[in-house]
Amino acid sequence: MKKKSFKGYIYLAPVLIIMLVFTAYPLVRAFIMSFYEDYNAVNGTYSGINIENYRALFASSDFRTALANTTIYVLFVVPLSVIISLLIANLLNSHIKFQGLFQTLYFLPYVTSVIAIGVVWRWILHSQYGLLNGILNFFGIESIGWLTDRRYSMASLIIFAVWKSLAFNIMIFLAALQGISPDLYSAARVDSTPRWRVFFRITVPAMGPIIAYAFIMGIINAFKVYNEVYALFNGAAGPNGYNSAITIVFYIYDQFYNNKKYGIAAAGSVVLFLLIMVFTMIQKLPAKIRARKEAAQK
């Protein structure tokens, strides 16, 4: 047994080394850096060890805006993406015509560069010549400055992010739908069960673990949003110099690379890590409670 275990550790060693070097070490290093006052990343000097970086972080209006924007982003993008993806996947699974074509179209955003997609969406959301405003004008609605008016910055970002995140969710939902036993649907047809009831009583419960996984991954990815902001606003965090669409990761990037405030950037990274961990644990809590109840019943 010991020989087999040793072989197992040898096989796992490359992956473990990569995780330690590129995941565990940066995490520990960022945590330590967050307590260094006036830290200089070039020569590694600092003036003291305290919690001043955290005080400056939460005193910053830009960070509070970033925290609020990221929370709004998570609350809107994740549920909308999961619900829309589930409905589309269910439709694609119903053997409609040109199913392969639609699957390819919905999968394209997942394999396309975010920057390239951002260029397209900047044209779609253009205040004068954009496709979206053209549709609104057709129905008698005045054009909206999606990318020029800071009031609509988050709405633009949410629309873009929901569309971009559909591909991955549709893919995993389709795989889960194809794993549901056809006998369940056959029995429902025999009983003349309405489609909406079949969807909520058979499809959704059978896909419960996959939906929970999509929510967890969606929340984690939503808290780390950066590329979408950069691509949509052409490297800025909002229109006309306003940080109206700034997110936590964008704030961390700005503090580290532009303002050279390495300690504050590290403190922001630690706060982001804790937020993701808390929300992930909250998402897993119902599954743990359900598992304990099932174990108690047995």
Q: What is the dihedral of CA 205, 210, 211, 214, to 10 degrees?
A: 180
| pLDDT for 1 beyond 60 | no
pLDDT at 26: 86
C-alpha dist (Å) from residue 193 to 89, 121, 198, 273: 20, 42, 7, 46
Closest CA to 227 of 109, 52, 132: 109
pLDDT at 217: 87
pLDDT at 35: 92
For residue range 232-259, what is the model confidence (pLDDT) as tens digits?
887 777 777 678 889 999 999 999 888 8
Q: How many CB atoms lie within 10 A of CB 117?
A: 19
For residue range 15-63, what is the model confidence (pLDDT) as tens digits?
889 888 888 888 898 899 999 988 887 787 888 888 999 999 999 999 9
| pLDDT for 165 beyond 90 | no
User: pLDDT confidence of 266, banded at 50, 70, 90?
Assistant: very high
Q: How many CB atoms lie within 10 A of CB 80?
A: 17
pLDDT at 8: 76
pTM given for the model: 0.84
For the chain, what are the domain ranges? 79-246
Per 3-state DSSP, what percentage of the chain is helix, strand, and coil (rounded to 5)? 75, 0, 20
Overall fold of domain 79-246: MetI-like fold (1.10.3720)
pLDDT at 120: 87
- C-alpha–C-alpha distance, residues 247 and 245, integer Å: 6
For residue range 91-118, what is the model confidence (pLDDT) as tens digits?
887 766 766 677 777 777 777 788 888 8
For residue range 113-132, what is the model confidence (pLDDT) as tens digits?
888 888 888 889 888 888 88
pLDDT at 286: 67
